[in-house]
């Protein structure tokens, strides 16, 4: 029997339900524009961002299906979140500065988190619907 070929798979896009598209678009644009994303589609109920490799779609349905409570600063791990891997600490720092400049305070501050792996450096924010969005880097990602 021939060995099975390992499938190559990457995440192409993620969709996030939002309660107020205007507020969410401001949050995500502030963050994503500094990470090389552009708006690729927009209408009255949805917007899509892309960096040519990955897409993030926000949609405001007529009736919300999801209501999130805010993550707390006491949580060491937030299981339900979006984590965006970037190339270096400087990019994490730029995301942090730009978000704070636009009034978005971090949920978890910009710092190293060696409990995840040596050199893991991240900042996390709650979006307007309390979805946690993290920007991180780590040395030599597998």
Q: What is the pLDDT of residue 52?
A: 93
pTM: 0.86
Q: What is the pLDDT of residue 6?
A: 78
| Residue 29: inside a domain | yes
Q: What is the pLDDT of residue 28?
A: 98
Domain tally for the chain?
1
Q: What is the pLDDT of residue 77?
A: 66
Q: What is the pLDDT of residue 2?
A: 67
Domain CATH code at residue 20:
3.10.180.10
Q: What is the pLDDT of residue 70?
A: 80
CA distances from 72 to 24, 28, 29, 103, 132 (A): 20, 21, 24, 19, 10
- Low-confidence stretches of the chain (pLDDT < 70) are 1-2, 73-77, 79, 141-142
| Residue 18: inside a domain | yes
CA distances from 113 to 62, 86, 140 (A): 39, 15, 16
| Residue 102: inside a domain | yes
Q: What is the pLDDT of residue 14?
A: 94
């Amino acid at each position: 029997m021939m060995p099975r070929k390992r499938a190559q798979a990457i995440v192409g896009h993620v969709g996030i339900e939002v309660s107020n598209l205007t507020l969410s678009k401001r949050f995500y644009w502030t963050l994503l524009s500094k990470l090389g994303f552009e708006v690729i589609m927009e209408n009255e109920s949805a917007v899509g961002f892309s960096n040519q490799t990955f897409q993030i779609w926000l949609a405001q349905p007529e009736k919300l299906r999801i209501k999130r409570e805010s993550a707390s600063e006491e949580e060491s791990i937030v299981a339900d979140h979006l984590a965006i891997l970037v190339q270096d600490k400087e990019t994490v720092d730029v995301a942090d500065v730009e978000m704070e400049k636009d009034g978005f305070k971090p949920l978890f501050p910009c710092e190293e988190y060696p409990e995840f792996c040596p050199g893991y450096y991240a900042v996390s924010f709650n979006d307007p619907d309390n979805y946690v969005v993290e920007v991180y880097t780590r040395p030599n990602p597998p």
